[in-house]
Amino acid sequence: MPMHDLTPQQCLDALAWQVDAGADEAVGDTPGLAHWVGTSAKAAPQQPPLRHRSAPDTAAAPVPPPARAERNAPPTTAIAAETIEALREELGRFEGCALKHTAMNLVFADGNPQADVMLVGEAPGEDEDRQGKPFVGVSGQLLDRMLASIGLDRSSVYISNVLFWRPPGNRSPTDAEIAACLPFVERHIALAQPKIVVPMGGVATKSLLRTKEGITRLRGRWTDYTPHLGRDDTPSIRCLPLYHPAYLLRQPGAKRQAWNDLLTLKKALNEANSLK
Ligand code: URA
């Protein structure tokens, strides 16, 4: 989205994010910005843990990928859905995840399902649960500023999570909850067919990529993601893990790396669109 389409407040927010991320220090640098990677982060005061987080702690991401046995038995309903709307309806009927009974709402997706980029977060928090929409709380506000800084907004991305219901008290998701939801997440991605899938934070990255490697190693590095659906008609998708916005709220020093990763994403999108 061009800056002139933003409201004055949105412009200020996007600029604040860029200054926090150290973008002002990049003026005059070559576009590579490689010197940012691996340099020590700008000294920033450590924020105390958020007392009313709207998202679980995605940074620590202590949740290993689901056990293979759980993954081998995906609900056939998820795989059978031929449209995103059908998938949402299946989830509404799905009884395989107990979180449904403690949550207020199913939190399915927001944004544009035809977008080139699909962002996948961890789990809805309190605000998301209340509104039935992903990333509407404080993490979502930072996410909006991050997107605006590279000319994107909710009409140019599609957003979902690896869990469709809020874990009580924003606790970390269990392996079993992730395993129950993952076939729906994978089918969701396969149906949306984004050019680029962006897992945000350790839990989403580990779950989608089936890796034990941490987000600090994987962020900003391209990989290929293939939804594991037991169907061989599922093409692989370019994948760029990013830090989760909730982590950046707690560790503002990491915003410089996040900014670099956003530029990587922007460059790939520009290249993909120039091929159209
Ligand atoms: N954090 C997430 O991972 N997802 C949301 O929808 C909100 C916060």
Measured CA to CA, the distance from residue 201 to residue 159 in angstroms comes to: 14
- From 119, 122, 198, give the residue whose CB has the most ligand 1 atoms within 8 Å, as the site to mutate: 122
Query: pLDDT above 90 covers what percent of the chain?
Result: 66
Q: Residue 29: its pLDDT value, please?
A: 36
Ligand 1 binding site (Cβ under 6 Å of any ligand atom): 54-55, 58, 121-125, 128, 134-135, 137, 139-140, 161, 246
Q: Which ligand 1 atom is at minimum distance from the Cα of 161?
A: 4
Q: Residue 228: its pLDDT value, please?
A: 84
Residue with CA closest to ligand 1 atom 7 = 135
Residue with CA closest to ligand 1 atom 8 = 55
Q: Which ligand 1 atom is at minimum distance from the Cα of 127?
A: 7
Query: Model's pTM, two decimal places?
Result: 0.80
Q: Which tops the pLDDT comparison, 101 or 274?
A: 101
Compute the distance from residue 31 Cα to the ligand 1 centre, in Å: 31
Compute the distance from residue 202 Cα to the ligand 1 centre, in Å: 12
The answer to whether residue 16 scores a pLDDT higher than 60 is yes
Q: Which tops the pLDDT comparison, 44 or 167?
A: 167
**Beta-strand pair 117-121/157-161:** parallel
- pLDDT, one tens digit per residue, over 47-106 is 333 223 333 334 333 433 444 334 444 566 777 899 999 999 999 999 999 999 999 999
Provide the pLDDT confidence category of residue 243 given band limits of 50, 70 and 90.
very high
The answer to whether residue 233 scores a pLDDT higher than 80 is no
The answer to whether residue 36 scores a pLDDT higher than 50 is no
Compute the distance from residue 225 Cα to the ligand 1 centre, in Å: 21
Q: Residue 1: its pLDDT value, please?
A: 52
The answer to whether residue 11 scores a pLDDT higher than 60 is yes
Q: Of 229, 233, 231, give the one whose Cα is nearest residue 208.
A: 229
DSSP string, 71-111: HTS--HHHHH--SHHHHHHHHHH--S-THHHH-SS----EE
Compute the distance from residue 28 Cα to the ligand 1 centre, in Å: 35
The answer to whether residue 117 scores a pLDDT higher than 80 is yes
Q: Residue 172: its pLDDT value, please?
A: 97
Q: Which ligand 1 atom is at minimum distance from the Cα of 133?
A: 6
Residue with CA closest to ligand 1 atom 3 = 122
- pLDDT, one tens digit per residue, over 185-232 is 999 999 999 999 999 999 999 999 999 999 999 999 999 999 987 666
Is residue 18 within 8 A of residue 145, CB to CB? The reply is: no
**How high does pLDDT run on average in the chain?**
82
- From 120, 128, 200, give the residue whose CB has the most ligand 1 atoms within 8 Å, as the site to mutate: 128
CA triplet 155, 142, 130: central angle to 5 degrees? 75
Q: Residue 110: its pLDDT value, please?
A: 98
Q: Residue 44: its pLDDT value, please?
A: 35
